[in-house]
Structure 1
Amino acid sequence: MTTAISVKNIGKQYKIGAAESKFRYNMLRDVIMDTVYAPVRIAKAMIGKSDRRQNQNYVWALKDVSFDLEEGKVLGIVGRNGAWKSTLLKILSRVTEPTVGTVSVRGRVGSLLEVGTGFHPELTGRENIYMNGAILGMRRAEIDAKFDEIVDFSEVTQYIDTPVKRYSSGMYLRLAFAVAAHLEPEILVVDEVLAVGDAEFQKKCLGKMGDVAQQGRTVLFVSHNMSAILRLTQEAVVLNKGQLIMRGPTQEAVDFYLSSGQAQAGERIWSMEDVPAASAPFRPISLRIKNRSGKAVDTVRSMESVTVEFEYQLDAPVTGLRVGMYLSTIRGEYVFTSFDTDAPELFEKFDSRKSGRYISRAEIPADVFNEGRYTIGVNASSFGVRRYFMDENAIAFNVDITGAPGMHWAEPRVGPVRPRLNWAIEKIGD
């Protein structure tokens, strides 16, 4: 079978910090200080201790990544935030070049790396469709044949002749996805952009991606939605800090990803290098799963309550902060979401939080979980303003169902929850 994508030992290096301006307009005091310290700088340079050289810090985003992908295959790419998944897709889409290594791509590539990729804001939706088709090397007649289908899918018929700079983010996304999926590139590259759309549109997009895969086209799909990865892909690779650490059948890869890097003994502690600089002034410290006795544990009993304790530092005051958790099954299916300011009285009291160290603590009542392994993701954001920190797979724990409702029945019970409901049985006749 023909290889559609071949990646050989690629690496991508970025320089940290802003580039120095070529033209500087100094004040008189800057000129004087520069003149005074010039001999010192020259001496340091001569012995290899130049300040300029020391301040040039670099980071390797990708390191020695290699894989081949055959035509007609669908490959999932999973990894935690900061694994540099999007950088890999940008290299495969020829948006940027690798620092080292080679990439060979056979066929036209349609990319959806972020909302409105490749769109010109001053052009109308119609004009952008034709422009994107031309970039892919399609003839006008080919684009004409797909035009109505693209517009119908995107649901922007009324605004197709309006400049896209006036579109909402949802309209932008719908049209961008429709163009990427319908103009029939041999290779479709889709990053985690579907999170922008509503649930109905996400379902529609996933259905279309399934159709694309069945048509024998090659697809690379990045997502934190493990259910979508399991549904759409046959194989998946796992990235961690820019390195490919595992490739295999999707189910095995997802299990490896969800179980790797988890905290042991019911506790997760973040080091400084684990926290993106963009999270400031919010800094996560630790996350703990505690049993009824207050001990951090990896396994909890279904018939007992469990406490989730998230400790964090605010290095500056924050207004409108809400700290939350996302509880999911090991397969990535959401069970529930909860935030520390859901209660109106807490919302009022902590609308503005001063700098300092905090703990947000939640108690999950007894008789909630069914048997299995669960994950908790954490989030810190100001609603509608900014997301400070997100770790969608922060900690995992097991549930022991000894003493849970219905244990006298032998068969397993489906579903992630196993509530103890208040049933009543009443005889109403002979």
Structure 2
Amino acid sequence: MSKDIILKAENISKQYRLGQVGTGTLSHDLNRWWHQVRGKENPYLKIGDTNDRSTKGESDYVWALQDINFEVERGEVLGIIGKNGAGKSTLLKILSRVTAPTTGSIKFGGRVASLLEVGTGFNGEMTGRENIYLNGAILGMTKKEIASKIDEIIEFSGCERYIDTPVKRYSSGMTVRLAFAVAAFLEPEILIIDEVLAVGDAEFQKKAIGKMQDISRQGGRTVLFVSHNMAAVKSLCTRGIVLENGRVVFDGGINESVDYYSKLSIEKLEEKSIQHKFLNKIEIKDIEFICNGSKINNFNSIYLGHDLQINIDIKANDNIVDLSIAIDILNVNLELMSHVTNEDDDFTFFRVEKGDFLSFTIILKQITYIPDQYILNLWIGSSHLESLYKIERMLIFGVEQGSFTKRTKPLPNHSKVFVKSEWSLKS
């Protein structure tokens, strides 16, 4: 059976000149024009650095995207995943026709509606109601078609009280509510959404994700979704592509895509743990990691604010006085984030006899490190003085943003720990 392809991107690349607005100098523009007149390739397509923000480039040109190829079937929900600067927003702007690719082409099989930032396509001087008609006209709908859906749009947005007020007086949350309602209810064949739903509160995000699931499953329409909220991506998308430095590095099922994305930052770390046994006084029989009732393996991720449970089984080969246990949590730069010991919970093993088997559980409560990758090291000793057993890189795991914070954008990676806060305004 042939596939019903509604969107096809072929060899999409986007090049920018650093430090310049437009294409660059007049001499470069003339050079491009001269090559075009002679039927030759743009000479600047042969130069340029990969879009890696962490390294210093040698060229004034950079490839924000390079050789992007993918197809999307009708009714598919595609998650586009990648770190900041990977090229996600550039790709969506090209798909939304906000900007043109440097090379390549895109073939569409239907109308496209985009929600790339708060207020996309809205006129601030016009009322919410007028903007609904404006956006519907842009999508090619008749006034009659728009009028038949306007009540649903207003009800879903929750902006009924302000619908005849100029949009410039809306809050960012109200604007995105209305913008999403317009994009969803005016029935484009392809809906493109870039992170913007994070502006809404948790209730609206849940409502919007439910609506996107409905329009894809029941309406047979296609959704392209970018978000740093991996919980939302997993719940909504059926397939994912992972971008790194402007290239597609993975294309597959959404769970596999999220797992691949989680591994990217820790590829430089060795997978195998290093174990040090001292004096042969204890043996570790088993260690397992649990989050939300599921077992966690190396390079898996948990969500911000979730607990991480560690189950450890040990056997004592000798008598041990005051068995002590400590866990160090480090970031990928090997900076110590936390040092946890059994004393923190007043949990003590005053004496362990030779031949004893011990099974104990440690629950690290509400992990709130900034989304990234982290390393767990284990130390077991006597009286917190004598080392008996040590495991380096016992677990390497990721933290994803999830819904623990209502922040509209990804948490800043120059921070280290997220602190939950409550805000109010005194009247």
For residue 14 of structure 1, what is the aligned residue in structure 2?
A: 16
Match of residue 237, structure 2, among 229, 233, 236: 233
Q: 2:305 aligns with which of 306, 322, 335?
A: 335
Conserved 8 A contact 2:304-2:367: no
Q: How do residues 15-414 of structure 1 correspond to structure 2 at under 5 angstroms?
A: 15-19=17-21, 57-214=60-217, 215-262=219-266, 264-265=268-269, 330-335=300-305, 362-363=337-338, 365-366=340-341, 367-369=362-364, 378=370, 392-393=371-372, 395-397=373-375
The residue type paired with residue 87 of structure 1 is T
The structure 2 residue matched to 1:2, chosen from 4, 8, 11, is 4
2-structure distance, mates of 1:17, 1:209 = 39
SS at match of 1:260: helix
Q: Residues 175-233 of structure 1: CA distance to partner in whole angstroms, max 9, x if unpaired? A: 11111111100001111112111111111111111111112111111111112111111
Check conservation: 2:18, 2:61, Cα contact below 8 A: yes
Query: Shift of the alpha carbon at 1:264?
Result: 4.8
Contact kept in structure 2, 1:10 and 1:100, CA below 8 Å? yes
2:8–2:107 contact (8 Å) kept in structure 1: yes
Secondary structure, aligned partner of 2:14: strand
**Conserved 8 A contact 2:15-2:62:** yes
Q: Is the 8 A contact 1:133 1:143 kept in 2?
A: yes
Cα distance change on mapping 1:81 and 1:375 into 2, 3 Å: farther
In structure 1, what is the Cα distance between the partners aligned to 2:4 and 2:20? 43
The alignment partner of 2:363 has SS state of coil
Question: Structure 2 CA distance, aligned partners of 1:114 and 1:3?
Answer: 27
Task: Tell me the distance in 2 between the aligned counterparts of 1:147 and 1:165.
Answer: 20
C-alpha distance in structure 2 between counterparts of 1:152 and 1:234, whole Å: 28
Give 4+ residue runs of structure 1 displaced > 4 Å after superposition.
263-267, 359-362, 374-377, 398-403
TM-score, reference length from structure 2: 0.59
For residues 197 and 118 of structure 1, what CA distance do their matches in structure 2 show?
Answer: 18
Is the 2:114–2:183 Cα contact (8 Å) retained in structure 1?
yes
SS at 1:128 equivalent: helix
Q: CA deviation at 1:56?
A: 8.6
- Give secondary structure in 1 for the equivalent of 2:211: helix
Letter in 1 for 2:121: G
Judging changes above 3 Å, is the alpha-carbon distance between structure 1 residues 122 and 69 closer, same or farther for their aligned structure 2 residues?
same
Q: Distance in 1 between matches of 2:109 and 2:89?
A: 20
Report Cα offsets for 1:370-421 as digits up to 9, x if no partner: 9xxx99863xxxxxxxxxxxxx33x233587999xxxxxxxxxxxx9xxxxx
Gaps of 5+ in 1: 23-54, 268-300, 304-328, 338-358, 379-391, 404-415, 417-430
Report the equivalent of 1:279. none
Q: Is the 8 A contact 2:81 2:226 kept in 1?
A: yes
- Write the distance in 1 (CA, Å) between the matches of 2:258 and 2:375: 17
Segments of structure 2 that go 5 or more residues without pairing to the other structure are: 25-57, 272-285, 289-298, 308-333, 342-361, 382-398, 400-427
CA displacement at 1:71 relative to structure 2: 1.0
> Paired residue for 1:408?
none
Matching residue's letter, 1:136: L
Q: Secondary structure at the match of 1:131?
A: helix
Identity %: 51
With 92-101 and 252-261 compared, the bigger mean Cα shift is at 252-261
Displacement after TM superposition at 1:84 (Å): 1.1
User: Following the alignment from structure 1 to structure 2, what is the Cα–Cα distance between the partners of residues 121 and 60?
Assistant: 34
**2:247 & 2:69 partners in 1: Cα distance?**
9
**For 1:143 and 1:402, how far apart are their aligned partners in 2?**
68
Q: Secondary structure at the match of 2:124?
A: coil
Equivalent residue of 1:365, what SS?
A: strand
Q: Hey, what's the Cα distance between the residues in 2 that align with 1:159 and 1:227?
A: 32
> Contact (CA 8 Å) 1:76, 1:250: kept in 2 or not?
yes
Instruction: For 1:397, give the aligned amino acid.
Output: I
Count of aligned pairs: 277
For each residue in 1:334-378, what CA deviation from the matched residue of structure 2 results, as whole angstroms up to 9, or x when unmatched?
2269xxxxxxxxxxxxxxxxxxxxx996435343349xxx99863
